[in-house]
Homo-oligomer: A and B are copies of this chain.
Amino acid sequence: MKKQAIAQATRQRLLVAAAQIIQAQGTESLTLEAVALVAGVSKGGLLYHFPNKAALITGMIEGLLHAFGLAIEQELMLVEGPVAGRWLRAYLRATFTPAGQQLELTAGLLAAVAADPALLEPLRARYELWQQLVVADGLDPTLATIIRLALDGLWMADLLGLAAPIGAQRDLVKTLLLRLASTTHMQGELI
């Protein structure tokens, strides 16, 4: 195998190992040594790929952003429903997608908030952008924002184990959210 390809795989293993440690034992246990051990690399090897701890965490967040961005783009290609709410529905489906539920990568968020909240900056920037797209999606901006917040809430409930809906209830939530995100105008008492 090509050397570069191996190196790339090692890098990925390190990222995954870091996420696993966080999920299992909390960010405080995220030490360079532990990550290296789980990934089957020496500490020096880890530091080759990520020159310091912050770089490792940034790597996780960038990975998350990249994966989720791809998931959205993919969902956007699906032809469905009215034009209004198109983007929001893609975002919605992406969060319900395995990639969106890659809690592994999501753990990077926790690591960032632990090590230095400033590391969240790229994520914040992306969220600002997403929020802009959400309100400009042709739906009622307020309802669209609520849908967005509900998706984020679900994501957090999953991450922290805070009574996230599962099974059939989860499907119902998804279905209703999708329907809300297809509503160009609401009737009667709602708005």
Which A residues have a C-beta under 8 Å from some C-beta of B?
23-28, 109-110, 112-117, 120, 123-124, 127-128, 130-131, 141-143, 145-157, 160-163, 165, 169, 172-173, 175-177, 179-180, 182-183, 186-191
A150 to B188, CA, bound (A): 22
Which one of B26, B143, B154, B155 lies within 8 Å of A114 (CB-CB)? Answer: B26
29 A-B pairs with CB atoms under 8 Å apart are: A23-B117, A24-B117, A25-B116, A26-B115, A26-B117, A109-B160, A110-B114, A113-B160, A120-B162, A123-B162, A124-B160, A124-B162, A127-B163, A131-B163, A141-B169, A141-B172, A146-B173, A147-B150, A149-B149, A149-B150, A149-B151, A149-B173, A151-B153, A153-B155, A153-B156, A187-B187, A187-B188, A187-B189, A188-B188
Q: Find out whether the CB atom of A176 lies under 8 angstroms from the CB atom of B142.
A: yes
A156 to B123, CA, bound (A): 13
A43 to chain B, nearest CB (A): 19
Residues of B within 8 A of A161 (CB): 117, 120, 124
Which one of B27, B117, B128, B183 lies within 8 Å of A113 (CB-CB)? Answer: B27
Which one of B109, B152, B165 lies within 8 Å of A153 (CB-CB)? Answer: B152
Other A-B pairs beyond A28-B28, A128-B163, A152-B157, 6, CB < 8 Å: A25-B116, A26-B117, A114-B114, A142-B172, A149-B173, A152-B162
Name the residue on B nearest A134 (C-beta). B163
Which one of B169, B179, B186 lies within 8 Å of A145 (CB-CB)? Answer: B169
A92 to chain B, nearest CB (A): 12
Q: Find out whether the CB atom of A27 lies under 8 angstroms from the CB atom of B114.
A: yes
